[in-house]
Amino acid sequence: MKKDLLAISDLSQKDIEKIIERSAALKKLQHQGKAHATLKGKTLGMIFEKSSTRTRVSFEVGMYQLGGHALFLSSDDLQIGRGEPVADTARVLSRYLDGIMIRTFAQSTIEELARHATIPVINGLTDLHHPCQVLADLFTIREKKGKLKGLKLAYIGDGNNMANSLIEACVRTGMHISIGCPHGYEPDAGVMREAQQETVRTESVLRIVNDPAKATQDADVVYTDVWASMGQEAEHAVRVRAFQGYEVDAKLMKTADAKAIVMHCLPAHRGEEIAADVIDGPQSVVWDQAENRLHTQKAVLELLMK
C-alpha cells in the first residue's frame, strides 16, 4: 500500500479487499469485547478545518480501541491557522506523531502535507474526496448484499466529494454506478476521465444522467448526499432550486430494485435530498453505515501505521 490515503485511487482492488476483510474481523472483535490493541503507543493527530461528528469521534475512539492515542487539532488553534506553511507543519508534526488525519478544503493542501510528512496522511474529507466514508460504504454494501461486483449503485444529487469517491470505488471493485444530477453539478472531470479508463479492467459501467429515475432504474444501492456541502453554505438557496426533482423519496425508490438499500453519509437534510420516510424507513442502512466508519478506519489505521 502507499504511504498515504488521499483518495480511493491510492488503493488497488486488492487493498480495498484487504481493508474490507480486516474491517469485518475488527468489528467482530469489538462486538465481542475482545482486546485488539495493535497500535499501542502510537499517536494520531487529527486536524480539522471543517466541522465533524462521525469522522472525529470514530477516529478518536478507533485509536483508543487499538491501544493508541488521538489528538484533536483544530486549525483555529494551530499556527497553520495563522499562516505557518503546510510543509513546515508536516515536517514538525512528523517528529511527534505516527500519523495525521486531516479534514480540509483543497485537495492540494492534503497533497502538500503528505509530500512533506514522513508519516502517513489520511484524508478525512476534502472538497474533492471522502475516501474514509466510501471505504465504510463498501464494507456496508458487502455486509448487506454479500458482494460488490456486478451491483448497481445510483448516486442522486450533487457531483461532490462523495460522488467522486464513490465513482473511484465502484470502478475499482466492478460495481456499476449511475449518477443522476442536474446540468452543471456533475462530478469532477478529472475523476471521471481516470474512472472511465479503470472501467475497461473491471467491466464496470459508469454513467451520468440528468433524469434521477434513469439512474435509480433497477439499482441495488441508492445513495444521496447534501445539496450544499461544507463551504457552500452561501449557495444553499440557489442549490435547493437547482436540485428540485432530485429528492430520494418513496416514488423514486419504486424505480430501484425492490431489495435496494438506501445510503447517506450523513448529516442528512430530511425534506431536501432525502425524504424522512425513506431515510427512516426499512430500506435505509444509514446507522450501520455510520457505525462502520469506526471499523474500516481502524483497518486503515492498522495498515498504514503498524
Q: By CB under 6 A, how many residues form the interface with ligand CP?
A: 8
Active site residue 297: no
Q: Which of 22, 54, 103, 142 is catalytic?
A: 103
Helix (H) or strand (E) holding 201, with range, is: helix 189-202
Smaller CB separation from ligand NVA, 18 or 269: 269
Strand order in the sheet with 152-156: 206-209, 176-180, 152-156, 221-224, 261-264
Distance between CA atoms of residues 188 and 177, nearest Å: 15
Taking CA atoms, 18 is separated from 91, 175, 213, 228, in Å, by: 30, 17, 34, 33
Q: Which residue is nearest to ligand NVA (CB)?
A: 229
For the CB of residue 226, give the shortest distance to ligand NVA in the complex, in Å: 5
Distance CA 80, CA 2 (A): 26
Nearer to ligand CP, 255 or 289 (CB): 289
- In the chain, the DSSP E strands lie at 43-48, 69-74, 99-103, 121-123, 152-156, 176-180, 206-209, 221-224, 261-264
Cβ nearer to ligand CP, comparing 36 with 236:
236
Q: Write out the binding residues for ligand CP, residues 50-79 only, by CB under 6 A.
A: 52-55
Minimum separation from the CB atom of position 95 to ligand CP (A): 28
Cα–Cα distance between 214 and 194 in angstroms, integer?
24
- Binding stretches for ligand NVA (CB under 6 A): 125, 160-162, 225-226, 229-230, 265
| Site string (112-141) toward ligand CP, x via CB under 6 A | -------------x-------x--------
Task: Name which of ligand CP, ligand NVA, none residue 53 binds, using a CB cut-off of 5 to 8 Å depending on partner kind.
Answer: ligand CP
**Which CB sits closer to ligand CP, 65 or 165?**
165
Of 260-289, which residues contact ligand CP (CB under 6 A)?
265-266
Tell me 187's DSSP state. P
Q: 93 or 162, CB closer to ligand NVA?
A: 162
Name which of ligand CP, ligand NVA, none residue 161 binds, using a CB cut-off of 5 to 8 Å depending on partner kind: ligand NVA
Residue nearest to ligand CP (CB): 55
The answer to whether 293 is a known catalytic residue is yes
H or E stretch covering 286: helix 286-305
Which partner, ligand NVA, ligand CP, none, binds residue 240 by CB below 5 to 8 Å per kind?
none
CB distance 212 to 249 below 8 Å: no
User: Which does residue 226 bind out of ligand CP, ligand NVA, none, counting CB within 5 to 8 angstroms by kind?
Assistant: ligand NVA
Angle at 109 between CA 50 and CA 193, to 5 degrees: 100
Instruction: At 128, list the grid cell.
Output: 474533492
> Residue 303, Cβ neighbours under 10 Å: how many?
16
Which of the residues are catalytic?
103, 130, 133, 225, 265, 293
